[in-house]
Structure formats: C-alpha cells, structure tokens
Amino acid sequence: MRKVMIAVDLSDHSINLLKESLTNRVWSDVEEVHFVHGFQLQIYADNFYFSAYPMEDQYDEVEKSVKELLTNLSKDIFKSENSPKLVHNCLISSAPTNDLCEYAKENKIDEMIVGTRGKHGIAGLFTSSFAEYMVRHAPCELHILRCNES
C-alpha cells in the first residue's frame, strides 16, 4: 500500500484544482493521504530588532486554522467511508519547501501531489518556483497538477 502527500498552498486556485483533479481518482492502492501545508514564516527587520509572523505564541492558532481548512478539503475529495487514513499537517517554517521534502522522507511518502498554475506545457511547469523546487528535490514520485485554463 502506498502513502501519498498532497502539498496544499491554500489559495482558492490550488484548492479548486485539487478538488477538480482528485475527487474521482481511484485511491484503492493508497493506505494514507497526507494533506500538508508549508506556512512561510515571515521575518521582518525593524530599526532595532527582527520580528516574525507568526510569532511563536500564534503557532497553535495558525496550525489549528490550517488543519481545519485541510480537513474540509479532504472531506470534499474523499466523500466515501472507504477512504484511506487521512492526515492533516501544517509546517511553520522559514523554508517550507525544504521542510515539505523532509516531511515526505520522514513519513516514507511514495507520491507527492502538487499544483501549479500558469502556462501550458514545459513553460508552464516552471512558472512556479515551488513546482520547480519539487521537481529537483522531491524524495519520491512527483505528480504535478496544472489548471486547464489558457
């Protein structure tokens, strides 16, 4: 049985693309599906100090909100009772792309699914630095979804 990780950026575009592309997929050979969002930690320089968003005391609230969004997405994709085990996770990091790859390694993920937008064909594949990074660094099979828009 396989483990699949779906990297979700939480934009409306990404969520709609994932719902559209994955709702009718056959999941019979999949044991677990990990819905994971890499939340970019923002570091700001001020006159006298550095600050970050979110601050550490906000991590729990951010993780709770993200997991709720991921849970709702998984309910839209997996409508039957015979779904695989679903895992929802939020990684708060200054380097979320790297952490998503590490997460895939640590959890022995067999396939990673990511969405991208933009142009068609090879030119469209590399319009997203996230997709480009995953093409070069994903530790497993990579499935890139792109929208059907022109």
Across residues 106-112, what is the average pLDDT?
Answer: 98
Encode pLDDT of 86-102 as tens digits: 999 999 999 999 999 99
Rounded CA separation 72/115 (Å): 18
pLDDT at 150: 45
- Domain CATH number, residue 23: 3.40.50.620
SS3 87: strand
Please give the residue that has the higher pLDDT: either 39 or 50: 39
* Domain housing 103: 2-146
Please give the residue that has the higher pLDDT: either 41 or 128: 41
| Total domains, the chain | 1
Share of the chain above pLDDT 90, in %: 65
Please give the residue that has the higher pLDDT: either 46 or 9: 9
In the structure, what pLDDT confidence band is assigned to residue 47 with cuts at 50, 70 and 90? confident
Q: What is the 3-state secondary structure (H, E, C) of 18-57?
A: HHHHHCCCCCCCEEEEEEEEEEECEEEECCCCEEEECCHH
Other C-beta atoms closer than 10 Å to the C-beta of 47 total 4
In the structure, what pLDDT confidence band is assigned to residue 55 with cuts at 50, 70 and 90? confident
Across residues 75-79, what is the average pLDDT?
Answer: 92
Tokens representing 137 are 């660094």
Backbone angles phi, psi at 4, to 5 degrees: -120, 140
